Structure 1
Amino acid sequence: MDDREAEYPIAPPTPLKGRGAVTNVQGRYERDQRERVDDGWETACEVDPAAPLRTQVFEERAKSILTRNASPDIPFSVSLNPYRGCEHGCIYCFARPTHSYLGLSPGLDFESRIYAKINAPELLRYEISKKGYSPEPIALGVNTDAYQPIERELRLTRRVIEVLNEHGHPFAAITKSSLIERDIDLLAPMAARGQVMAAVTITTLDAEIARTLEPRAATPTRRLRTIRELSAAGIPVGVSIAPVIPFVTEPDLERVLEACAEAGATSASYIVLRLPWEVAPLFKDWLAAHFPQRAERVMARVREMRGGKDYDSSFAHRMKGEGAWADLLKQRFGKAVKRLGLNARRHGILDMSHFKRPEMTPPPSPQLSLF
């Protein structure tokens, strides 16, 4: 029995069409443990493992909407996420473990059971109306994509931006969706006042890899077009190459930067693959399903950058890794950015001088009226 047979005694995970995760791994807070065994029942009942998994959206009335962090390796301290879970289904998403707090799986549940904070715009207005509120740029959609598919219908992100625009409050948005183009009518005037920046995440230009890696996000070609549209509208736009996956997306690093610079991006950043908590087993299952021949090689390189572990959460190394290969990646990125003229101008300082505090309003009540 080889290592592959020992790790997957039944069979390697089977990819599901339109989904990133190939399993529904248990969350770390679940008390009951489940183990899959082959007793012949599935075969006898002719269960179709590739049957489409329907996305469910649940309305949630949040108690707060602004999240604060003090991490020294994150370039913002306040963020806003209108949704929990993300239908884009990116297998590498560092936010997947947050579904464990809901008693759900960071696997398929994360991308098929979406929670929409339907009172997000009202909560935001209340938060920024407080007398003690000190305005600083808000990062929009950094945990889960604010422009994921359900946004077309619910328009929560649109309404949040309307509040920010009305009161002159700067923000930065990051997305993998072309839906951000819908809001150019709001973004462009704010950009003219120095109040907004955008970033588009592109991991690879290979459409086939992207289809399995980020199954319900816009294609790489479509994201390049989004960069062009935002740039043409005068909105500062950058590219985030996140994550860089050894031997999967890593060979595309320079080509992605070149294509984005040509499309009008003026800044760029990258993050090395991160595998916190349940993301590690989910990613390994994805590798076994889609890249079985190179799975061991990929994980060996990941561990080389993580001090021999699947993941190192220290602030010093979690974004870029450590060791010879991480240093080489940093050099490759730096040389390409310099050659293409990216990051030559600073867009990180947004203008806070236009902020107008709303009139103090009572907090939105989660209690529904009886009449």
Structure 2
Amino acid sequence: MKPPSLPRGRGSRLNPGDRFADWQRAAFDDDWADDAADEPDRGPATTLLLDKAKSVIVRNASPDVPFAQSINPYKGCEHGCAYCFARPGHAYLGLSPGLDFETKIAWKPDAPAVLRRELAAPGYRCQPVALGINTDGWQPVERRLGLTRQLLAILAETRHPVSIVTKSALIERDIDLLADLARDGLVQVMFSVTTLDPRLARQLEPRAASPARRLAAMARLHGAGVPVGVLFAPLIPAINDHEMEKVLEAAQAAGAETAGYVLLRLPRELRELFEDWLVTHYPDRAGHVLSLLRQLRGGELNDSRFGHRMRGEGVFADLYSQRLRRCCERLGLNRNRRQLVTTAFRPPGRGDGQLALF
């Protein structure tokens, strides 16, 4: 069976069934294909799915991430990044981690009201919240829905500390809220920059902002007084690992104060999807990339253990860590780790007419 062509503007050409399904589908050539099958596929359009929010603040106890609670306005992401670790999560919606992940986006229109209720709860204790971590809060559909901005506005109103990771230049739209939060030490924005090569970026992240555009957005936020940093993520052996120093240098010139990296993770269905991406775009080195990943993951393509999943282990993992540390020392990055302020928090009004006692 001839493999399907890559839909234009999408990161995956596959759409495997979710792992919870009772049956799986497979492509089959019945010899009825016509000449139109060889024409480029423009790809499916994006559709939105309603996701009723019982709660929006998700809590975790992972020692690998610097936050204990997060808010994700969307499930799925139009950026279509071939490497996205969140893809397998679409299986919980009964959808495919492949094309469905980047074309069928679940959103929570009632999330702002739910967030207000959770922040107003008597037992709530303020600590920094990460906004849009699982999937990008500023992905293309945000331009017309404005859901992430509504949530950010509530955090600004209540003086709640927030950390952000994005690869979207759309975050410039919210510079008014971010600058307001920054004046009280309530926000930090990390930009994910995977490569400086526009061609590789289009292959890896087809609908994300170009690397140059991300750096320009970083510079604009920095100019407005918003603390910014860079994540070289994911680091992919033999694909972009040689760019670490160049990415950090470009980010430092754009105002970055902090930097880090995350090794490529391939949980569950993502293994098949990323292997197909490698064979499609880099058939000459696909085997080499996978071999290096296995050396970094104890012989496997993925290692979910805390303390290992973000950095890997072995000689290559040590080398990447040394490169990051020495580059940061040379550029003056990571000298001061900002601590977001939690003492300015003021709960929102209950909305039921009841006045506060104090």
Bucket of the pairwise TM-score, normalised by the shorter protein: over 0.9
Distance 1:44 1:14 in 2: 14
> 1:85 touches 1:99 (CA, 8 Å); kept in 2?
yes
Query: Pick from 126, 130, 133: which aligns with 2:124?
Result: 133
1:279-318 aligned within 5 A: 279-318=270-309
> 1:240 touches 1:268 (CA, 8 Å); kept in 2?
yes
Map Cα deviations across residues 42-88 of structure 1 (whole Å, 9 max, x no partner). 33774746233211112322111010000111110100011110000
Moved more, 353-362 or 210-219: 353-362
> 1:82 touches 1:141 (CA, 8 Å); kept in 2?
yes
Distance 1:11 1:329 in 2: 38
Name the amino acid aligned to 2:184: R
Are 2:131 and 1:179 aligned? no
> 1:129 touches 1:361 (CA, 8 Å); kept in 2?
no
Give the secondary structure class of the aligned counterpart of 1:199.
strand
Map Cα deviations across residues 283-331 of structure 1 (whole Å, 9 max, x no partner). 0000011111010000000011001111010002100000111111111
Query: Pick from 309, 312, 327: which aligns with 1:321?
Result: 312
Task: Give 1:4's aligned residue.
Answer: none
Distance 2:171 2:231 in 1: 16
Distance 1:303 1:361 in 2: 54
Task: Give 2:187's aligned residue.
Answer: 196
Task: Give 1:40's aligned residue.
Answer: 31
Map Cα deviations across residues 8-60 of structure 1 (whole Å, 9 max, x no partner). xx345532210111211221111112222222223377474623321111232
* Same amino acid, percent of matched pairs: 50
1:1-371 aligned within 5 A: 10-12=1-3, 14-43=5-34, 46=37, 48=39, 50-347=41-338, 349-361=339-351
Give the aligned CA root-mean-square deviation in angstroms.
Answer: 1.3
Name the amino acid aligned to 1:130: A
Map Cα deviations across residues 310-368 of structure 1 (whole Å, 9 max, x no partner). 10100021000001111111111111111110001112x11111111122347xxxxxx
Distance 2:77 2:119 in 1: 26
Map Cα deviations across residues 201-251 of structure 1 (whole Å, 9 max, x no partner). 000000000001000000000001011001001100000111000111111
Distance 1:44 1:161 in 2: 50
Give the secondary structure class of the aligned counterpart of 2:33.
helix
> 1:14 touches 1:289 (CA, 8 Å); kept in 2?
no
> 2:16 touches 2:24 (CA, 8 Å); kept in 1?
no
Map Cα deviations across residues 139-174 of structure 1 (whole Å, 9 max, x no partner). 000001000011111111111111111111110111
| Residue correspondences, number | 352
> 1:202 touches 1:240 (CA, 8 Å); kept in 2?
yes
Distance 2:228 2:33 in 1: 49
Distance 2:110 2:32 in 1: 45
> 1:201 touches 1:239 (CA, 8 Å); kept in 2?
yes
Name the amino acid aligned to 1:357: P
Name the amino acid aligned to 1:174: V
Unaligned stretches of 5+ residues in structure 1: 1-9, 363-371
> 1:12 touches 1:288 (CA, 8 Å); kept in 2?
no
> 1:13 touches 1:289 (CA, 8 Å); kept in 2?
no
Give the secondary structure class of the aligned counterpart of 1:57.
strand
Name the amino acid aligned to 1:109: D
Name the amino acid aligned to 1:292: P
Distance 1:357 1:149 in 2: 31
Distance 2:255 2:69 in 1: 27
Give the secondary structure class of the aligned counterpart of 2:21.
coil
> 1:55 touches 1:111 (CA, 8 Å); kept in 2?
yes
> 1:21 touches 1:89 (CA, 8 Å); kept in 2?
yes
Distance 1:336 1:11 in 2: 45
Distance 2:317 2:116 in 1: 43
